[in-house]
Chains A and B, each alone.
Chain A
């Protein structure tokens, strides 16, 4: 599903965020991405949905080489990838419902579908009763779930979540992780970047460690350790 060959990323300010990364993630896999702050986890995800291009090497997503993808095809790549951002990126002037429906509306989804699918996704994430709130009126965990709702509403084949349990209490973290596992169970390839060692250890999934932009470890049923 996702392949990286000798991928390096050097930002224009000279920071080398990724260095010669080689990586394969198969269809339907559940992968934790761990590593110290600044290791390049977010950068790696941004390469997958082509928010950034690699400085060298190749990134192949679902058979598509992202550096060769023409500009007009990029939106269609992104429709097949859901992203939950570290910093949420919600629209504070729109309701929860509109934030989630936004992803459908701006991709020309059929009008009849928007209402129905948004409602269903919000119910699935336990946000049905908060649908007319704005993000400013929500708790951190609720915002996190709104982000997940927006990321999965297009039925993406890949779900990238960046620190989905940051700032959440252990119970809420576990709840979010259950939701993600459930989505993964339906066949969505899932990548979770996290610093939460307890969760990683508890889930017993594949763990890829990044240190200084390099893959330091890659274990099939790993624990939280990137040395």
Chain B
């Protein structure tokens, strides 16, 4: 046990002296890792919030299908069959012309508004399945027999969904590019330390140190860089996010922002894990060539 502790102390000392030997380079690497993880964290928070808001939108994802005035009983029946057999529809509700008028009245607040000739058509309110291809569904439903028009307002939801998919792809790409960049930068920094310590390494090999023993200080160096970078990113995020939440709440209260502790703790773990992964992978990349 004491030997383990002694050995670990040796490795950590070597790692720290490696860090000090190329201080500026290591600080630059640290900043890169911190920035990458900060952006990753922001992205994760953004996506989390978007998904949260989207869930609300999705649950409201419905479409109104207006019927032709000339529709007869047979057409209406076959339309119901179409609706029932469509995989995109979860449920539907038939709205008579009187019900439509009634809801307009309520909505406008004109409870005693009298209309002689009700201009509103009959309609179906459709509740759509989560994740349905909105545009395709609209095209399909438009071709059903007896359908005159579809409510257009809901199209914006579809557009929003598309935009979010795009945001997700762009964000993932950004994180991937930045992640690769910091991986390379960590690998390069450690390569420099390896170079600075080549004499030590060659002597270690000659007196019979195992490869893993030789690699350990560099792995620790990478690990420290990853972890410290993640810690810096977390401090920035966790202190900045609540400010953003309160600001946004006063400007746009309809946007719901995740701010329960659980989500932030989850984020912390994710970032720390990413930091560890970046650090270890980065040093492993640069250590491939240390072999007997």
Contacts and interface: CB of A to CB of B under 8 A. Distances in A.
Interface of A: 49-51, 71-72, 74-79, 83, 89, 91, 102-103, 105-108, 110-112, 150, 154
A89 to B, nearest CB: 6
Contact of A110 (B3, B207, B213, B292): B3
Given A89-B202, A106-B213, A111-B3, A71 B207 contact: no
A106 B205 CA distance: 9
Given A110-B3, A111-B6, A89 B210 contact: no
Size bin of chain B's contact surface: 20 to 34
A103 B10 CA distance: 13
Interface of B: 2-3, 6-7, 10, 199-200, 202-211, 213-214, 291-292
B291 A71 contact: yes
17 contacts: A50-B292, A72-B210, A75-B210, A75-B211, A77-B208, A79-B207, A83-B206, A89-B199, A89-B206, A91-B200, A102-B203, A106-B204, A106-B207, A107-B213, A110-B2, A110-B3, A154-B208
A157 to B, nearest CB: 13
Contacts, number: 60
Given A71-B291, A105-B10, A111 B207 contact: no
B291 A107 contact: no
Main secondary structure of the interface of B (DSSP, over half): helix
Contacts of A89: 199, 202-203, 206
Contact of B208 (A71, A78, A110): A78
B206 A111 contact: no
B6 A75 contact: no
A112 B10 CA distance: 14
Contacts of B214: 106
A49 B10 CA distance: 26
Given A102-B207, A112-B2, 12 more contacts: A51-B206, A72-B210, A74-B292, A75-B292, A89-B202, A91-B199, A103-B208, A105-B10, A106-B213, A107-B208, A111-B2, A154-B207
Contacts of B205: 75, 78
**Most chain A C-beta atoms within 10 Å of own C-beta, residue among B206, B210, B291:** B206
